[in-house]
Amino acid sequence: MYSKFAFGFVLFLSAFIFAQHSKTGNTVTAGGKPVHTYAKLPAVNKQAPGFTLTDVTMKDQNLDAYKGKYLILNIFPSVDTGVCSASVRHFNEDAANLPNTVVLCISKDLPFAQKRFCGAEGIKNVVMLSDFRSDFGKKYGVEITDSAMKGLLSRAVVVIDPSGKIIYEEQVADISHEPNYNAAIGAVKK
């Protein structure tokens, strides 16, 4: 009797957890093939979830360190791909012209790889941060949960105002495409 009850309870709990994940998960594509992320991006007009990420010197950086500034979170799978490196270069150029704004380029790349890339490319106007030892990908819903890219971050942009509120978000529909730079920059300029 108890074993049937326990089995039924485990089955119910598994179905409940699957249903909850199904409601919050998100589907994007990678080269036209569907991949799933942990959840949807945090909503506009909500407070940005806190995070702690690792910079290129292996020091922890958190959201609170940037309070009072506009933040553009440029989130992507790996700086060693063409589209990801293009987004870093693009935001590096735009960041130089935006007052009171910091661009955080966030991936699962190790800080050593991020530092190497920035040195080779002359990248100086963005902050490279690694999610290799944090839960940022889950908090922001961008961690990929299946496919060969499982564990990496999907391509997204989140803009946070000086009070810590999200004022713009874009989950790029296909990871192989670049984000809408003008919309992200425009959110800061409003």
Residues 84, 113, 144, 158: which is the catalytic one? Answer: 84
For 16, the 3-state DSSP assignment is helix
Mean pLDDT, the chain, whole residue set: 88
87-142 pLDDT, tens digit each: 888 999 987 789 999 999 999 999 999 999 999 999 999 999 999 999 999 999 99
Q: What percent of the chain shows pLDDT beyond 70?
A: 87
What confidence score (pLDDT) does residue 24 get?
Answer: 62
Annotation marks residue 84 as catalytic: yes
Residue 17, sorted as left (phi over 0), alpha (psi -120 to 50) or beta, turns out to be alpha
Q: Residues 44, 156: contact at Cβ < 8 Å? A: no
Q: Residues 75, 107: contact at Cβ < 8 Å? A: yes
For 158, the 3-state DSSP assignment is strand
Q: How confident is the model at residue 2 (pLDDT cuts 50, 70, 90)?
A: low
Q: How confident is the model at residue 1 (pLDDT cuts 50, 70, 90)?
A: low
98 CB-contact burial (10 Å; exposed 0-12 / middle 13-18 / buried 19+): middle
- Judged by average pLDDT, the poorest of 13-17, 45-49, 183-187 is 13-17
The one-letter amino acid code at 138 reads K
User: Average pLDDT of 61-85?
Assistant: 92
Q: Is residue 153 pLDDT above 90, yes or no?
A: yes
Q: What is this structure's pTM? A: 0.85
What confidence score (pLDDT) does residue 49 get?
Answer: 97
What confidence score (pLDDT) does residue 95 get?
Answer: 78
